[in-house]
Amino acid sequence: MSEPVAEEDFTEESTKVIEEKGFVKKYLLGDYDYGVLCMPRLNPWKVDTKHKLQYYGKDEALPPLLAAFLGFQHALAVVGGTALPGIILGSYDPTGKAAPYLVSYALITSGICSWIQIMHAPIPKTRYFLGSGLMCLIATSFAFLPTAEESIKLMMAEGKTFDEAYGSLLGVFLLGSVFQAGIAFIPPRILRKIFPPWLAGMGVFLIGINLTGVGVSQWGSGGQFLPYGSAESIGLGFFVMCVLIFLELFGSPFLRSTSIAIAIMVGYILAACTSDRNGNPYVDTAPLEEAPVILFLWTKTFPIGFYAPAFVPTLIAYIVSTVETYGDTCATAQASGYTPDDPYWDEALQGGLLGDSVNSFISALSMVLPSTTLSQNIGIISLTNVASRWAGIACGVWMFLFGVFGKFGAFLTVRKKSPSK
C-alpha cells in the first residue's frame, strides 16, 4: 500500500506538471495565433501578419477557448442577418409586441438548426444523409421576406390581425418545406443543370434589390417625433455607415468579419445616449423593459393557418433558398479542402439540401421564417483557416444563448417605426 502524499507535495507536483506541459496553452488556448486575427491593418508595431495560420480540418477538435472565440466571431456575423427579418415583419404589428419574440425565436432556431446542418447523420437503410457535415451555419432566409411582407399587408387589409396573418404564412412555409425536401433527393449533377450559377446570382440579386428598398426606408425613419427623412435620422444612419467603412478599411480580421454587427451596436449606443432637436429620445426602450429576461420557443404563439395566394411565391422562394444552400455548401466544402471529385462532395450537397428543408420545417414550427445557409461564414473560414465543426457548434451555442436571453432580442428591436408604416 502506497504512502499518503502530503497536500503540499501534491500541489507542488500538479503545478510542475502544468508548467512543464503548458496546460493552459495546450488544452485551453491551443497553438493558434490569436494576434493575427486581432491586428489592425494600421500596424505601426510592424508585427508580421503574413505567415500562414495553423489549419484545422472539419473533424479536428479545437481547444475550448479557441472554439468559443471563433464561435463568437461566427455568431456576430450571423446575428444581424438572423434578426433582421423578425425586426421588419414585427414592425407590421400595431401593438409592437411581436418583434422581440420573432427575433429571439430566430436566434434560438439558428443555433438549433446550425447543429443539425453541421452533423452528417445517415438515414437508416438508405444512402442518404441529414446535414452537410461541414461548418455550414444557418440563419433566417431573406428569400421569403418579400412574400411575407406583401401577404401580411393584404391579409391585414382584409381585417385579419397581425397574429392571424403571420400564422397563416407559417402554414404555407410548413407545406413548402416538403417541396424543398423532394429537391434534396435529386442527384447533384442534375441540380447543376437545373440551377446554373447565373440563376442563383439572379435570385440573390433580386432579393438584394428588395432589401435595399427596406434599408433606405428604415434609414430615413424619423420615428414619432421627427418627419421622414429628417437630418437627424440621415445623420445617425450615415454615422453607422462611416463606422462600417472604417472597420472594413482599417480594422483587424476579427473586426472586419463582424463589422456589420459592431457598426449597428455602435449606432444603437449613440442613439440611446442622444436626443433630437426637441429633446425627444431617438429610441423607445419600452420593448426592452417589457421583454422577459429569459424566454424560449412558443412563449408567444401564432395560430397556424394557410394563405393560399402565398403558396406559389413561397415555392419560388424555396427554389431560390435551395440554390443559395447549394452554392454555400459547395463553397464551404472547397474552403474545407474538398474538390468536386471527392466522394464526400456529393454526400455533403445532398445532406445539406435535406438539412435545409428539415431546418425550414423546424423554423416554421418555431414561429419564424424558413432558414438557409449563410455565405458570410465561408469568408471567416478562409480568414481564420479553421474549418472545424467545433467552431460551428460553439457558434450555435452562442446563438442559442442570445435567443434565450430575451432582453438581447428586445434590444435589437429598440427603434422607432416610420410614420409611413
Name every residue whose Cβ is closer than 8 Å to that of residue 276 and which is 6 or more positions away in sequence.
225, 226, 230, 232, 282
3-state secondary structure of 230: coil
* pTM, entire model: 0.82
Name every residue whose Cβ is closer than 8 Å to that of residue 271 and which is 6 or more positions away in sequence.
236, 282, 283
Are the CB atoms for 234 and 215 separated by under 8 Å?
A: no
**Cα→Cα distances 305→105, 155, 316, Å:** 19, 12, 20
Question: What's at 321, amino acid-wise?
Answer: S
Q: Which segments of 220-336 does DSSP mark as H helices, in order?
A: 231-250, 253-257, 259-273, 286-290, 311-335
Select from 257, 295, 261, 263 the least CA-distant residue to 400: 295
Residue 129, strand partner residues: 122
Q: Could you list the pLDDT tens digit for every one of the 421 residues in the chain? A: 445 444 444 345 445 544 444 555 666 666 676 777 777 776 665 555 555 667 888 888 888 888 898 899 889 888 888 998 998 899 899 988 898 999 999 999 999 999 999 998 999 988 999 999 999 999 999 889 999 999 999 999 999 999 999 999 999 999 999 999 998 888 877 877 877 767 766 766 776 776 677 677 777 765 666 777 788 888 888 998 999 899 888 887 788 878 878 888 888 888 888 887 777 777 777 777 888 889 999 999 999 999 999 999 999 999 888 888 888 888 889 888 888 888 888 899 999 999 999 999 999 999 999 999 988 788 888 878 888 999 999 999 999 999 999 888 888 777 654 433 4
Extract the C-alpha cell encoding 397.
Answer: 451555442
- CB crowding 233-243: b at 16 or more within 10 Å, else e: beebbeebeeb
Extract the C-alpha cell encoding 43.
Answer: 500596424
